[in-house]
Amino acid sequence: MERDNPLDDVDDERLLAAFAQIDAPQPSRDFAVNTMRAVRRAPLPAGRVRLRDPLMSMFGWAALIAAVAFAVLAIALTEPIVVPVFSRFITRGVGTGMRLLQLAPMGLRLFDVMATMGDAVSRAAMTAQGATGLVMSAVVGVVSLSGLHRVLISEREDSQWQELS
């Protein structure tokens, strides 16, 4: 059987055809990741902007805003003027909640409500939005309780504010 040597007629076309059939060397799967890591670390000439990930920047801004919000809240709670307003708000909120609970039917009906709420919470917890909402509710709850705690303690103490009023 006679074979056809692809390079007998050595010309561009035949070599191009021959090379088209073989795979070119390929880098490893991690090549791009490793390269980007090296690129990020590389020193840059003056005036050049460093690479940044837009998603990470967004997270950074969100963290900064949250930190500022918490700081403002913490500072506000130490102010004598803010504390009574905040405590009144909490007291009214808790009182309203308690009254609503008292109005709610007892017994099985209450059990049904609790069961439904439990079901809703568990369903919500399975979705990203629901889970986020629950976490936020928990955070608000913790902050509220913390404020309530401060208020209850301050009522037992003699403060200059009480003397003035």
Partner 1 sequence: MPATDVELVRGALDGVESAFRDIVLRYQRPVYGLIARMVRDPSRAEELAQDTFVKAFRALHTYDVQRKFSAWLLTIAHHVAIDELRKGSLDTEPIEVATDSGERTREFADTRAPTPSALAERAQLARFMQTAIGRLRPEYREVVTLRYERELDYDEIAEITGLPLGTVKSSLHRARKELAEHLENLGWSATTHSTM
In this structure, which amino acid lies at residue 134?
L
- Told to check if 102 binds partner 1 by CB under 8 A, we report no
**For residues 12 and 157, which CB has a smaller minimum distance to partner 1 in the complex?**
12
Q: Does 157 help bind partner 1 (rule: CB under 8 A)?
A: no
Distance CA 50, CA 40 (A): 7
DSSP-derived secondary structure for 28-42: -TTHHHHHHHHHHHS
**Does residue number 5 form part of the binding site for partner 1 (CB under 8 A)?**
yes
Residue 8 touches partner 1, criterion: CB under 8 A: yes
Q: Is 10 in the site for partner 1 (CB under 8 A)?
A: yes
The residue among 40 and 149 lying less far from partner 1, judged by its C-beta, is: 40
Residue 133 as a binder of partner 1 (CB under 8 A): the answer is: no
x/- mask, partner 1, residues 108-127, rule CB under 8 A, reads --------------------
Q: Is 89 helix (H, G, I), strand (E, B) or coil?
A: helix
By C-beta, is 35 or 146 nearer to partner 1? 35
The SS3 call for residue 2 is coil
Rounded to a whole number of angstroms, the minimum distance from the CB of residue 20 to partner 1 is 7
By CB under 8 A, the residues from 25 to 64 that bind partner 1 are 25-28, 31-32, 34-36, 38-40, 42-45, 47-54
Other beta carbons less than 10 A from residue 86's beta carbon: 19
Residues 6+ apart with CB under 8 A from 73: 143
- Determine, following the binding rule CB under 8 A, whether residue 1 of this chain makes contact with partner 1: yes
**Considering Cα of 160, then 85, then 149, then 67, what sign does the dihedral take?**
negative
> Rg of the chain's alpha carbons, rounded to an integer?
34
